[in-house]
Structures are given as structure tokens and as C-alpha cells.
Structure 1
Amino acid sequence: MAGVLARIDRGLVRLFGAGPTAAGRRRERLARAGSCAVISLTGVALLAPNLVPGLVGQGPAVGTGLAVLGIVVSLGLVAAGVLLFRSAFSTPNAVRIAVWNLLGLVVLGGVLLAHGLYRGALGTVTPTDTLAAGNVLAISAAAHVIIGVHDARRVRAEQLAREREKFAVLSRVLRHNLRNDATVLIGQSERLAAELEDPSLAEVAETLSRRSQEVGGLADKTKVMVEALDRRSAPNDRVNVGDVVADVAADARERTDCGVEVDVPPDLWMWADDGVASALAELVENAVEHGGASVRITAVIEDESVHVRVADDGPGVPENERAVVSGESEITQLTHGSGLGLWVARSIAESAGGKLTFDTEGEWTVVGLVHGRAASPTDGAAGSVPTAEPAGTTA
């Protein structure tokens, strides 16, 4: 059975997925519009039999109630088709939902038609039979749309699980190879730097060593991003903003010569997880490496959210890189980030229901983390809250 369902899934994607050609994209748009129209037209068609009590005159109150129920459900089907067209469901899954809708109509409609023919042969067909058929078909169609939505979500969940498994394997292989190769390069370049007598060649060796260390650091950053993805379903905890900022600032001062200023209100707490320190450290490292002579970390409260901002007086984040990291632009061979630091910060923030922001304040470039504000533990509020549902998934 699972194999049959998998073949059906692949067939829907092959037939109705957006292809690389203009014809494929046009077919995909038509399939989406047609699928959603089928659901809405089902609702329109089923309005007629549910209007029978109003057309034949006054009847029992229960008949009026049933008619109202059928009309509401039919109008719900009309709205469902419109909402599906505007939803994040992929076109193959929109087709899947429309097929479920038709399945409910065909199967139950066939049974009701047979009963109608039987009652017609007996001469016992009445207007109430039309209302009953309209009620049953409307409810059946709506129920099958709901079944289709759950079925589409199941398919998407299975696809995401397979993609995550592939990504995890690729990540492990990549990290392993990067770390091993970087270790070899670092060792050999340090040996060259120590033995070469020519200062210019020794400088080249030192550059190789530094670059090798950066390549090795990519493996660690990739691991942090994968761990952030795995934490998406974990609950958040209260995090003392002042403590996190102080630790990150102290570490930055110890490792670099750049001055790091801190301005955080006392006893300020936010909902996050233990990865927020790594995210903030990435922002500070990025500011120190690409910024100017000084870096400042501030925290403010806006609309029950805590904004932790890292500002530097350097040239700023390039517009194309900012657009890619923020999701405003797609990654291509020409538009992509120059490193993983901002991606790591974004992944960690979003895994805890927060977000990464970009701004400017005069000559300062500001990159920040935004998380929900939490009450101080001394106020006696709840101990933890769940993370927000990750955004941007397409069913």
C-alpha cells in the first residue's frame, strides 16, 4: 500500500509540479486554478438542493435548520476553494485535495442516485429527498476536503522527513571532510611557516594557515545550524539578556582588540533557548571582522519583544547578502552570502521562534535578534513556553 501511495505522489508531482519550462509553469498554474475551482463550484452546485425548503414554501422548523446547515457548508466549500488557491499548499497537493473532494461526491452521490432511482420507481420521491441529498453531499464533500488537507500534510511531512535525513547525512559527511582536510592544511602550513626563511613565503604560509582555520570553522557552524533545526520543537526557557550579552562581550574582548560596549537594562528576560549565546556571538564576530573600530551591544523592549542589537561603524552588510539572508532574495550563483555567521544566527533565532533583523542608525550598521519578552522569574510566571511554528514551509 505504501508503495502505491508513493507512486501516486510521484505521479502528481510529475504531472502538476512547476517544471523548468514556461509550458510546465503554465500547466502548473492551470492545474492549481482548476483544482481550486472544482471545490468552489462544488459548493455552488450544492446550494441549489439546500434551498429547496425556501422554494417549496413553509415547512417544519427542522427542515429550515437542515437547509441552513447545508447552505453554510456549501458556502464553506466555495470559500475553501479560494483559500486553497491562496494557500502555501503546492499545486500537486491542491490537486490531491480536489480529488478527495470529488471522491466524496462520486461515491456518495452514486449511492444517493441509486436510492433516488429506487424511490422513483416506487413513486415515493418527495422534495425532502432533494434536501437530504444536498445536505449529505455537502457534508461529505466538506469532510473529504478536510481529509485531503490532512493527507497533503502527511505527504509533506514525509517529504520533509526524507529531506532532513538526506541533509543530516550530507552535513555529517561535509563536516567530517572539512574538518579532516582543514586539520591537514593547518598542520602543513604551520610547518612551512616555521621552516621557511623567506619572510614573504612565511607570510604566505601563515595566510594558508589562517584560511584553513576558517574552512575548519565552517564545519562547526554547519553543525550549529543542524542542531538549531533539531531544536525547533523543543520548549523555550527564560534567558537573562544581561548575562548572555556580558558573556559574549567578554569573550569578544578577550579574542580581539576591538572595543565592545554594552548597554542592557537590568533584569531583562526573553524567551529563547541556550543557542541564543551562539547566535549573538556570531553577530559580534561578524561585526568585529567586517565592521569598524568599535562594536556596541544594546537591548531594548518594543511591543513586548526584546530586540538585542549588535551595531558597528563599518561599511555594513552588502545589500545582496542582506537580501539573501533575510529571505527577500533567492540564493543563486551570483547572489549568496560570503559566510555562514549570519545564517547560523538566523537558524538559531528562528528555531526558538525569534527572527534576525537588519537596520541602520546613522553611520552604524545594526544586526539584531528579536525574541518575545519574558517576565522575571521572581514574578512567578510560567517556566517555559513552546517555540513558534517555523514559518516558510510549503505543504
Structure 2
Amino acid sequence: MTGVLARIDRALVRLFGPGPTAEGRRRERLARLGSCAVVGLTGVALFVPNLAPFLVGSQPIVGAGLAVLGTLVCLGLVAAGVLLYRSDFSTPNAVRIATWNFLGLVVLGTVLLAHGVYRGALGTVTPADALAAGNVLAISAAAHVIIGVHDARRVRAEQLAREREKFAVLSRVLRHNLRNDATVLIGQSRQLAAELDDPSLAETAETLSRRSREVGGLADKTKAMVEALDRRSSPNARLNVHDVATDAVDDVSAADGAEVAVDVPRDLWIWADDSIERALAELVENAVEHGGSEVHVSADTADDGAVRIDVADDGPGVPADERVVISGEEEITQLKHGSGLGLWVARSVAEAAGGDLCFDTDGERTVVRLVHDRAAVPAAVEMADDDAAAPAQSSTV
């Protein structure tokens, strides 16, 4: 059975996927429109039998109630067709939902038609029979649309699981090879730099060593992104923003010898996980490496109650074409993909914890911002410190 379903899935994708050509994209649009029209027109067609009691004069209150119920279900089918067209379901999955809807009509419709023929032969067909058929068909069609939605989600979940498995394998192989090759390059380049007498060649060897370390760092950044994806379903914890910011800045400052100003209230807490420190460290490292002479980490609470953690510098800032890709405003292409993984790591970690990464400017400085839900101050902290509204603590690391 699983093999049959897999073949059906592949056939739907092959027939109704967008494809690389203009003809394929046109066929995909028509298939999507047709699928959504099938669902919507099902509701339109079933209006008549569900309104049958009102077409033949007064009816018992029960009949009127059933007619209203059937009419509402029909309106729901029409709305479902419109919503399906505007949904994020792929066209093959929209076809799948419409097919389930059609099967529900065909199976029950055939049986009810046979009953109608039988009762007509007996001369006992009444408006109540039409209402019953309309009710049953409308409810069946709606139920099969729901079944189709769940089936489409099942298929999507299986596709994501396969893609995730491939990504995990690729990531492990890539990280392993990058780390090993970078280690070899670093060792060889350092040996060259130590043995070469020519200053220009020694400088070239040192540049090679530095670049090799950067390549080796890509393995760690890739690992952080994969771990963030694996952590999406894990619960968040309550973290102190001041402690997270101080630890993140300490890590970067120790490695780069940079001075970063930290201005974060001690009583500010967020819902996130421990990886938020890695995300913030990536932002600070990026600002130190590409920013100007001043880097400033601050945090405050927005009007909607969310906590904003800002990393600002007075350098040239993140290029506009890179910002729109990382923020999700534009898709990744061969020309637009970003110059490094640091900002991608920060975004992946933030989103895994239910947060967000965005860009802003406060006039002269570029600001990269992490946004997370605010958490209440833990009871133990409140008991230890009667002054719950402690002033902001400023420091320079």
C-alpha cells in the first residue's frame, strides 16, 4: 500500500508540478484553478437539493433546520475552494484534496442515485429524499475535503522528513570534510610561513592559514544551524538577557581582542534556549569583523511586550541585497545568497526558539536585532532582590 501511495505522489508531482518551462507553469496554474473550482462548485451544485424543502412550500421545522444545515455546509465548500486556491498547499496537493472531494461525491452519489431510482420506481420520491441526498452529499464532500487536507499534510511531512534526512547526511559529510581539510591546510600553511624567508611568500602563507581557519569555522557554523533545526520542537527556558549578552561578548572579545559596550538591564528575561548565546555571539563577531570602531549591545522591551536585543555598529553595515535574503524578503539565488553563515546561524537559532532576526537603523549605525518573547522574572530572583525594577547595567568588555 505504501508503494502505491508513493507512486501516486510521484505521478501527481510529475503531472501538476510547476516544471521548468512556461508551458509547465501554465499547466500548473490551470490545474490549481481547476482543483479549487471543483471544490467550490461542489458546494454550488448541492445548494439545490438542500434547498428543496423551501421550493415546495411550508415544511416541518426539522426539515427547515436540515435545509439550513446543508446550506451552511455548501457555503463552507465554496469558501474552502477559495481558501484552497490562496493557501500554501502545492498544486499537486491541491489536486489531491480535490480528488478526495470528488471521490466522496462519486461513491455516495452513486449509491444515493440508485436509491432514488428505486424509490422513483415505487412512486414514493419526495422532497425529503432530495433533502436527505443533499445533506449526505454535502457533509460527505466536506468530510472528504478534510481527509484530503490531512492526506496532503501527511505527504508534506514525509517529504520534509526525507529532505531533512538528506540534509543531515550532507551536513555531516560536509562538516567532516571541511574540518579535516582545513586542519591539513592550517598545518601546512603554518609550516610554510615558518620556513619561508621571503616576506611576501610568508605573508601569503599566513593569509592561507587565516583563510583555512575561516573554512574550518564553516563546519562549526553548519553544525549550529543543523542543531537549531533539530531543536525546533524542544521547549524554551527562561534566560536572563544580561547574562546571555555578557557571556556572548566575552567569547568574541577573548578571541578578537575587541571592545564591545554592553547596556542590558539585569532584570530582563526572555523565553529561548541556551543557543541564543551562540546567535548573539555570531552577531557581535560579525559586527566586530565588518563593523566600525564602536560595537554596542543593548536590549529593551517593545510596545508589544517582546524583548529586542540589538547589536549596533558604526561600520558600513550589512549590504541591502544580503539583508533581504537573510530576512526572507527575497529568495536565495545564485546571485543573492549572503557572504557568510554567521547571520544565517543567528537567524536559525532565533527561529528555532520562536524568535526572529531583523535589521534596523538608528540613524548613523547599522542594527541587527533579535526579538524574543519576554519572560517574567523568576520568583526566586524576586525574593532575593526586593527591587524588581533594577536599573540598566552598562559595561565595556
The answer to whether 1:76 aligns with 2:76 is yes
Separation of aligned partners in 1, 2:183 and 2:33: 55
Residues 379, 45 of structure 1: alpha-carbon distance in 2 compared, 3 angstrom cutoff: farther
Separation of aligned partners in 2, 1:174 and 1:369: 28
Separation of aligned partners in 1, 2:284 and 2:188: 30
Equivalent pair of 1:258/1:294 in contact (CA under 8 Å): no
Separation of aligned partners in 2, 1:185 and 1:257: 25
Post-superposition Cα deviations, 1:94-146, rounded to whole Å, max 9, x if no partner, equal: 00000000000000000000000011111111110000000000000000000
Separation of aligned partners in 1, 2:119 and 2:55: 22
Name the residue aligned to 2:333.
332
Separation of aligned partners in 2, 1:96 and 1:325: 33
* Amino acid paired to 1:48: V
Separation of aligned partners in 1, 2:140 and 2:79: 16
Separation of aligned partners in 1, 2:106 and 2:208: 70
Separation of aligned partners in 1, 2:256 and 2:340: 19
Name the residue aligned to 2:376.
375
Separation of aligned partners in 2, 1:300 and 1:357: 15
Post-superposition Cα deviations, 1:63-82, rounded to whole Å, max 9, x if no partner, equal: 11111110000000000000
* Amino acid paired to 2:137: L
Equivalent pair of 1:258/1:293 in contact (CA under 8 Å): no
The answer to whether 1:348 aligns with 2:349 is yes
How well do the aligned residues superpose, as a CA RMSD in angstroms?
A: 1.2
Separation of aligned partners in 1, 2:137 and 2:336: 52
Post-superposition Cα deviations, 1:165-223, rounded to whole Å, max 9, x if no partner, equal: 00000000000110110000000001111111111111111110000000000001000
Q: Which runs of 5+ in 1 are unaligned?
A: 382-395
Equivalent pair of 2:313/2:365 in contact (CA under 8 Å): yes
**Count of matched residue positions in the alignment of Structure 1 and Structure 2:** 381
* Pairs within 5 Å for 1:1-395: 1-302=1-302, 303-378=304-379
Separation of aligned partners in 2, 1:56 and 1:48: 12
TM-score with structure 2 setting the length: 0.94
SS at the partner of 1:235? Answer: coil
Report deviation, 1:251.
2.2
Separation of aligned partners in 2, 1:61 and 1:224: 64
SS at the partner of 1:162? Answer: helix
TM-score with structure 1 setting the length: 0.95
SS at the partner of 2:46? Answer: helix
Separation of aligned partners in 2, 1:7 and 1:159: 13
Separation of aligned partners in 2, 1:148 and 1:350: 29
Separation of aligned partners in 2, 1:352 and 1:199: 49
Q: Which runs of 5+ in 2 are unaligned?
A: 383-397
Residue identity (%): 77
Separation of aligned partners in 1, 2:142 and 2:29: 24
Separation of aligned partners in 1, 2:86 and 2:291: 42
Report deviation, 1:266.
2.3
Equivalent pair of 2:360/2:368 in contact (CA under 8 Å): yes
Report deviation, 1:324.
1.0
Separation of aligned partners in 1, 2:66 and 2:28: 38
Name the residue aligned to 2:387.
none
Separation of aligned partners in 2, 1:44 and 1:249: 63
Separation of aligned partners in 1, 2:276 and 2:223: 15
SS at the partner of 1:376? Answer: coil
* Amino acid paired to 2:369: G
